Every structure is written in structure tokens, then in C-alpha cells.
Structure 1
Amino acid sequence: MSLVRCVDVARTFGQGDRAVVAVHGCSCEVAASARIAITGSSGSGKSTLLHLLAGLEVPTSGTVSWPEFGTSLAERGRDIAVVFQGPSLLPALDVLENAMMAAVLTGIDEAEAVVRGLAALQAVGISDLSNQLPETLSGGQAQRVAVARALTSRPRLLLADEPTGQLDGVTGRHVMDVLLAAADELGAALVVSTHDPAIAARLAEQWEMRDGRLFVPVRGGAA
């Protein structure tokens, strides 16, 4: 069962002489049980591909479809969660409120959202920071809040863009433990972009982005 399907997808930013092709003619599928690492150097197109898979970017050409999800971005939001690479917390909300947000936006009542938020913060090891504002957090702590927030919506597709990039080795491994355990518990697909070979090795499939082109191993080869 395919959750996301890309057919000859390309994404260009800018126009004319300033146009930059971030993704060239990508075709791929993410199955319901997938555990995928997308590797590649900085600027290779990993983040853009993840945003296309989430429906946050519209392809310049080609098609992206979600056979098992709703047709609108709002409907898909109940099934897809994204951990972004950069800071993405709302500064006026405390850590728990930020963690609850994904659950609240999918229609979960506040009491249940609080329970989910606290459980997710505990899972990533920062439940003691629940009342703090984002401005008081380190970059690594803020990233762990972002991971917790993604988990509270209980998605069927979890997309994480360099989720360990701002973390030390021990904390990064713990966050990957949390992501993998959550994907198993939820029966969700997990796609992680990373430049870290040790992180990539923990996922069953490794895809590679090179200069905006996707290389997916097929039966020992690449396509």
C-alpha cells in the first residue's frame, strides 16, 4: 500500500537566469511500513523532496499523490506530520502548548492533547521543560519539542528533516530511538533526511539525493 507516490516530479525556485532546479524528475513511492533515509550533501534537494512528499511544496512539473489520504492539505494534515530542520516553535506558547499543537489542529480535545503532549515530551526527555518558553531553550531542546509535537497527532506518515542535526551524538540517537519506536507503535511510515551515515544505517532503505536527482536502490542497483 502506497501512502505517497511521486511521478516525474520537479521543483524549480525562481525564474529566468535565477531559476534553481531543486528536484529533477523524481519518481518514488513511500509504502505504509517504510523506513527510509534520504541522504545527500547540503543543497542536494533533500528538504525540498520531503516538503513535496508532505504536500507543503507544489511541484513545478509531475505529480504527487496520496492514495490513502484526503485530497486537501487540511485533510492530509491529520495523517502527515513533519519535523522541520530549522526552529519552528511559536514563541508565545510554552513547550507543552507547542507540543500539543499538532493534536489540537487535528481536532483532538484539549484534555487529550495535554495527555499526548506530556507523553511525547517525556519520550524525548524534556518533560521538565513543559512550562518554559521557546526563547529559553537551546537549539537541541527546541528540536526535541518539534519532534514531540509531530508525535502528538499520531500520524500515518512521519517526515523528519535532519532531526538530529542540532543534537549531540547521545541525544541524536535517543531521538532516533523515539522516532523509530513511535513509527512502530503507530504503524506509520518514517522518512528521515540526514547527512549522518550512522542515522541512515538505522533505517531499512537508503535513498540518495545528488544535485537534485533521486537515486533509489532497486534489487542491488539504482534507478
Structure 2
Amino acid sequence: MSTAGVLVRCRAAARTYGAGPTAVVAVHGASCEIRAGDRIAITGPSGSGKSTLLHLLAALEVPTTGEVTWPGLAEKPGPKTVGVVFQGPSLIPALDVAENTALPLVLAGQPEPAARRRALDCLDLVDAAHLADKLPEELSGGQAQRVAVARVLAAAPRLILADEPTGQLDQGTGSRVIDALVATADALGAGLVVTTHDPHVARRLREQWSMHDGRLQPGPPTPQDSQPPSPQGDGQ
């Protein structure tokens, strides 16, 4: 099988937590490839294994059986190559919004003034530049999620993995976040994978995969839909 353009490949990758009769299989033997330029939505109910699969793709977890490889990345998975928008809180409490967003760039050796400029540009993409001086404790859940998206965009990774990025956002804000993710992936030639419960969000992407009871079902490309995400929770 050719590795041309393949950023990450799963071969019968499974993830089990625990052992014996209490073991929980979060992902059953997932096989897939994600290439540069792919735009993939993964749908499925809560607890279906979507987040665990994203963690496997990002090398944040190791498969119990099977394998995950990254043939198209010049270096091992990290903020410069794989960017992850987490579903839960992920900002560092002691840093303000601009510092949180710039952190991957500073850790990569970029001078702080340049890193801050890049961070402010990415915050502007998700309508969060006005939050630059606030601490995470001063943000709503929706605001924190937008900052988490900006932080990933700032690092300009080859692969973007976003776990329910619109789950706490209203319709308009959610639509702008998806716009920013797609536009950034387009500009970078990066792969983009978004997990979502929202069919409107899923139809914004070219391919729709599904997960049920830990089993991944890759699907064929589907016609794109320009509809924005439906209203969901806090858009502030």
C-alpha cells in the first residue's frame, strides 16, 4: 500500500482499558488512513470511541493491539505536526489567553513578540482577540474552546484533530470556528478530522465516517453542505 500523502495510518488499532471481565474496549480494530488535504467528520453517540480514536491518531495513547503509524510526518507527532483541540478544559490557568495561544510557538523556539503576533492573528480568526489579556478562569466554556482552537491554528500543524469543537458554541460562533479550521487546513495543506454530534457540522466536511460501540466505519466522500452548525450551548 502506498504511503504517498498519508499522514497517519491505523491498522486494526484497538484500545482497551482494564483487564478481565471489567475490561472496556473503547476502540475495536480501527483501520483507516488520513492524508494531507482530507476533510473528515467522525460522527457517533457519546461513548462510541471518537475521542479515544483521536487520541490514538495524535499519539496521546498507545493502541492495545494493532498499530498506528505516521508515514507522512517529518518528525514524531507533536504540536508542530499534530494539533489537537480537546473536548475538555486544556488551557493553562496561570497564562492569559494570548500566552496560552502562543505557547506552542514559544516552546518551539519562536521569539515571544513574533509568537504573540501570530497568536493574536489566530485569536482573531475565531473572534477571540478581545479576550487576549484574560485568564482562563475569566472565560466561559465557549470562549475557552475558541481559544483552544486558536492555539492549535497558531502552531500550523500538518494534521488537525478537533474533538467536538462546536459543542459549546452557538450557531454563528460555531460556524466561524469550522470556517477557521477549514481555512487554516486549506492554507497549510493539512489534514483535518472533526468529531461531532451535529449533522450540520459533519456535512461541512467532504467525508463522513461514523463510530458505534467503538467500531469505526469509514465512509465515501459526500457532497459538502454550506449550512452552519445548529445552536449548541454557550457561544460566548
TM-score, normalised on structure 2?
0.89
Superposed CA RMSD: 1.4
Report the equivalent of 1:38.
Answer: 42
Once the two structures are TM-superposed, the CA of residue 22 in structure 1 deviates from its matched residue by 0.2
- The separation in 1 between residues aligned to 2:221 and 2:97, in whole angstroms, is 44
- The separation in 1 between residues aligned to 2:93 and 2:76, in whole angstroms, is 28
Structure 1, gaps ≥5 residues long: none
Identity within the alignment, %: 61
Deviation track 1:59-114 (CA, whole Å, cap 9, x = no partner) reads: 000010000225644xx432110000011101100000011112222332212211
Once the two structures are TM-superposed, the CA of residue 183 in structure 1 deviates from its matched residue by 0.7
Deviation track 1:21-42 (CA, whole Å, cap 9, x = no partner) reads: 0000110000111000000000
Report the equivalent of 1:102.
Answer: 104
Q: Judge conservation of contact 2:43–2:210 (CA < 8 Å) in 1.
A: yes
- The separation in 2 between residues aligned to 1:112 and 1:48, in whole angstroms, is 34
Report the equivalent of 2:146.
Answer: 144
1:172-211 matches, within 5 Å, as 172-211=174-213
- Counterpart of 1:52, as a letter, is L
- The separation in 2 between residues aligned to 1:54 and 1:189, in whole angstroms, is 12
Report the equivalent of 2:58.
Answer: 54
1:116-131 matches, within 5 Å, as 116-131=118-133
Structure 2, gaps ≥5 residues long: 223-236
Which has the higher mean CA deviation after the structures are superposed, 197-206 or 121-130?
A: 121-130
Q: Judge conservation of contact 2:163–2:194 (CA < 8 Å) in 1.
A: yes
Change (3 A) 1:121 1:66: same
TM-score, normalised on structure 1?
0.94
- The separation in 2 between residues aligned to 1:91 and 1:80, in whole angstroms, is 23
Q: How many residues align?
A: 218
Change (3 A) 1:219 1:158: closer
SS in 1 for 2:33: strand
